[in-house]
Each structure stands twice: as structure tokens, then as C-alpha cells.
Amino acid sequence: MSSSAESLRSKIETQTALIGVIGLGYVGLPLIDAFFRAGFKCLGFDVDPSKVDALNAGQSYIAHISNQMVQQWVDQDKFEATCDMQRLSEPDAILICVPTPLTESRDPDLNYVVQTTNAIAQVARPGQLIVLESTTYPGTTRDVVVPALEKSGLAIGKELFVAYSPEREDPGNQNFVAATIPKVVGGYDEPSRDIADAMYSKAVTKTVPVDSCEIAEACKILENTYRSVNIAMANELKILFDKIGIDVWKVIDAAKTKPFGFQAFYPGPGLGGHCIPIDPFYLSWVARKHEIPTKFIELAGEINTSMPLYVVHKVAEALNSQGKPVKGSRIGILGMAYKKNVDDPRESPSFKLLELLAERGAELSYCDPHIPHLPRMRSFDVPEMDSSEMTADYLAGLDCALIATDHSVFDYDFLVSHCELVVDTRNATKEVKDGRHKIWKA
């Protein structure tokens, strides 16, 4: 073991290692909390000064990371946020949690990863561990991150250590927080893997060391492709069963009573979040490079991407049953977050629904207490709009309420009793007994 490795291992074991986290968002902040609770001091990096200022003042901008949590980090002198990338020389371990979106042609966009690793290389010192957590295609760590870090002049595996450990987050699910989710760890080499494994072992209940970065990278892609394909099947069956008069939700409820060989996946208005709508296309991109078709993955992507248009057609059908066109109808979208009970709008299908309905001339509003104002989005031209309060007057003024996200805060009995028409994409109204004639499933 090199002297740099021994020194870093000693700092990890004594919990004196400074943990740096680049990207203070839905992945970075839970990681900071996990390491804080394990007794480590953390230094957070972000290019957004407003985020840095908020965190240093003890304020959070993410619902499941409370102000009290952030204030605790600051009060105990265990956390500081900065925009100064020159300070990347300070942490002993640097965890990269930056976005990895797709281009318009659905190719991986690694600009954030490249910019970040170049910034690290400029100030890197012996005895640092660099871990990429951002979801990406197999080979990114070895072929993109390592060459950038080698520009530092430091020997990888002896002076500078490199690993990949895919982020695993389930926002809104209190049963799974960062510290309780097993962490897969793959290293550029064995010393890098062992050091990364030792570090994560201090902060999470279980680590899963694997033989290479590529295995860890492929693991994350497999996890999300598995979900994408199964959700696509549920969506396709929803369309089929609707045609033949069968309630797909009741079918799934019946099927999931089987104690083996079946896991329930549910249909919806499309896919959201940073992972499932994007990650499978990383794999299909790699496959194209090797001239191997990935028909299953591509087809699943096509089905899931088509769901917002299907929902809009169902809205048109529901309005038509009352003698109304979409154009000029007052439609309220309930839920702009991509998932129940979270404030995360990334890749939410609600934005596509908003866009498609606007193209058809609908008069639009939305209600989502988790997202009080529509944020800017990479993929959509978002109008200036604030969330409406779900009052009796608001609901009575709608020609159609479209349930896109089934937040628990919504009172569905109240909704149906005051609405003229409800289109439900999430089976959120399944327990509503009165006024079921007003409800359309989509």
C-alpha cells in the first residue's frame, strides 16, 4: 500500500477525513447528512450561489432535507458550502453528484462530469479519493474521468484514487434514506475500491464492493432499465385493457397477491425523475457504438414517452362526453412533481401534459403545494405560473381536473365532490365512493 493510501485510510478510520460533495441537490445533500451522522466534516460545492448562501445560512431548498438538519450541520461546524472550485484541494474524498442529462439526439451529455473532473485535476493533491456518483454508461469512469484526472500528473491508484458508486435515492420514501441503502462500490483498481469501500462503510449500513467501475456503472443502468421496461409493460397493458373494458389497476391488485414470480409495477402519465426516463438510453447508446440493437429498451422508452399524448387523448374524450372541446376548456393539472409527495420536478410528465394541452388551446392552471411556482426546465418552455389552492371555488371553476401526481395532501373525496369532471392517471380516486360517474381513468 502506498504512503498516500495509508494516510487516506488512516483519516477515514479516525473519521478525520474531510468529505467533499460536488452538486448540492437531491443526491448530494442526503449524502452529506449520512456522512455528518457518521461523524465526518463535509465541504459542499455548487455553481449556484443562491444554494450555497441558503445552506450556509442553515436553510434547505429540498423538502426531505429539513432546515433543522442543515442548521445542525452548520451549528456543529461540520459543514460549509462554497462556489470556489479552487478549494477542491481541501477534501480528502470528493463525491461527484452532478447532472448527466441526454442531448436532443438522446446521446449522453457528460459536460458537467468533464468540467468537474477538469476542475479537480487543476488542484488535486496526493491522498485524495475521487468518486463519481452520477448515473452514466459503463466505461465513463475509466475512459472519461481517469484521463482528465491524469492531467494532474498524479499516479492513479498510488497518489490519487478513483472509484464509481451509483447514487441510490428514493425521495419521499421515509423507509429508505441514504444511510440505510446498500452502496455498490467499484474501483478503477483494487486500492481505489478498498479505500472507497472503507469510506462508505463508515456512513451506510452496508456496502457491496464489486470488481470494477464498469460493473458498478452497469448495475445502476440495470436497476433503472428494469423499472423502465416493466413500467412500459404496465402502460401498454393499461391501453389494451382500457380498449376491452378491463380496469388495469384491479388486474395488478389481483396479480400482486401471488407471493412469488411477480412484482407490481404501475402505469402512469409518463416517466419522471432524473433516472428512469434517461438511464436506459445510456445503455442503448453504448449498444449502438458496438452495433448491437437494444430493441427491448428502445421500445420501452417509446411506450413510456408516448403516455402523455395518450392521457391528453383521454382528457379530450372525457370533455367530449360533456359536449366540450379541449380548446377553451379550463383544465387544472393536479401535481407537477414527478412523484408522489416530493418537490422534485425533474423530467416530470406533467410538463409535457402542460405543453400538449396548451398546444390544443386549453386554459391551464395547476395545483401542487410541493411546487408553489413552476421552475425553469431544460426540456420545456415553462410559462410563469403559481400553484392554485385546492378550494371549492377553484375546483368548481374547472371543466376538468387532471390528476397527474397522486400527492397524499390532496383530498380526493373533496376533489370529486366539487369537480365537474376528473381524469385520473394514478388510480388516486380508487377509494372515492360518491361521484364516481365523474371520474375517467387514463
- The reply to whether 83 belongs to the active site is no
Q: Could you tell me which residues are beta bridge partners of residue 440?
A: 423
Q: Which of 289, 283, 147 is nearest to 220 (CA)?
A: 283
Cell of 349: 410528465
| Strand duo 207-210 + 183-187: pairing | parallel
Length of the chain counted residue by residue: 442
3-state class (DSSP) for residue 62 = strand
Between 67-75 and 49-56, two packed helices, what is the crossing angle to 10 degrees? 70
Neighbours of 372 (CB within 10 A): 9
Q: What is the sign, positive or negative, of the torsion defined by CA atoms of 10, 16, 22, 23?
A: positive
Q: Could you tell me which residues are beta bridge partners of residue 365?
A: 332
Cα–Cα distance for residue pair 220/168, rounded to 1 Å: 8
Three-class DSSP labels, 374-426: CCCCCCCCCCCCECCCCCHHHHHCCCEEEECCCCCCCCHHHHHHHCCCEEECC
Residue type, 422: V
Q: Which of 194, 266, 277, 200 is nearest to 234 (CA)?
A: 266
Q: Which candidate in 97, 275, 400, 419 is catalytic?
A: 275
- Backbone φ and ψ for 135, nearest 5 degrees, come out as -65, 135
Cα–Cα distance for residue pair 251/255, rounded to 1 Å: 6
Q: Could you give the residue numbers annotated as active site? A: 275
